[in-house]
Amino acid sequence: MDHTTITWADLARLKKAAKAAKSTLPGLSHAQRLDTLASANHRVRNYHEMLKRYEAGIDACLVKDGVLHTCMLCGLQFDSSEPDDWKQHAQRHELYEEAGFYLGYLPSQYAERERIKKLGYKLMQAEGEHQHRDGALAVLLAHFDRSLDAAILDNRWRQHAYFEEYVQCALADAPFIPSGVKRLLVQEFGERAGVIPKGQSYWPPDLVRQTADRAASLKRLQALRSMATA
């Protein structure tokens, strides 16, 4: 039997297709259309089996230590003996799956962000202009991931800036970056003042990103992640 993992995106596409099939399968109820399309497209008996396959994929993301479970995708630690904790995790996990599908990227969790930030400060104290640049960008990456993480949890990730735009705005108030390095980064990224409030690093919740070039930001993020984990 095919045990391919079912993702949030698979379920979302199926629900959309079942709704659209109301005219092409008029004799079937919505639940029956779900069963028919799930069986035809995902090699399962029905929609219920597809949901079970999806839940198995979520379970595979959990690191289990007794009743304490930690999700490798969304970062939540929860008590597996508490039904409300399971519900909270299911809701949070779905948010992360949806955001990751559309963004092509998910932010690192707290411990990894702190490690990247520590590395960044270390590089800014090393010798060499290139090291200083990489260090500053590593710290900005940690700030970006923290900001995006908060936006996902608030279900406002669609408005959050991509990395390139975030850096432009963050550079306007970045006292941790030496002036010489900041000048180089401003030449590379540009600078936009008055977007992120002074003394903060979170993308404003009521502001929609202006830059639409997701590909450039993804390329930059992948390079920085590789540098930070080398």
Domain range summary for the chain, segments of one domain joined by +: 8-103, 110-229
- What radius of gyration do the chain's Cα atoms show? 21
Does 1 have pLDDT greater than 50?
no
| Model pLDDT for residues 148-203, shown as the tens digit of each residue | 999 999 999 999 999 999 999 999 999 999 999 999 999 999 999 999 999 999 99
Edge-first strand order for the sheet with 77-79 is 62-65, 68-71, 77-79
Compute the average pLDDT of residues 7-15: 93
| Model pLDDT for residues 106-130, shown as the tens digit of each residue | 999 999 999 999 999 999 999 888 8
| Model pLDDT for residues 46-88, shown as the tens digit of each residue | 999 999 999 999 999 999 999 999 999 999 999 999 999 999 9
Q: Is 91 helix (H, G, I), strand (E, B) or coil?
A: helix
Contact 108, 146 (CB under 8 A): no
User: How much is the mean pLDDT over the chain?
Assistant: 94
Chain-centroid distance, C-alpha 51: 23
Global pTM value: 0.90
User: Which residue intervals of 129-211 are DSSP H helices?
Assistant: 129-153, 163-170, 179-189
Q: What percent of the chain has pLDDT over 70?
A: 99
The first and second tokens of residue 104, run together, are 């092509």
pLDDT band, very low/low/confident/very high, at 226 (cuts 50, 70, 90): very high
227, 202, 91, 59: CA torsion to nearest 10: 20
Contact 164, 220 (CB under 8 A): yes
How high is the pLDDT of residue 3? Answer: 61
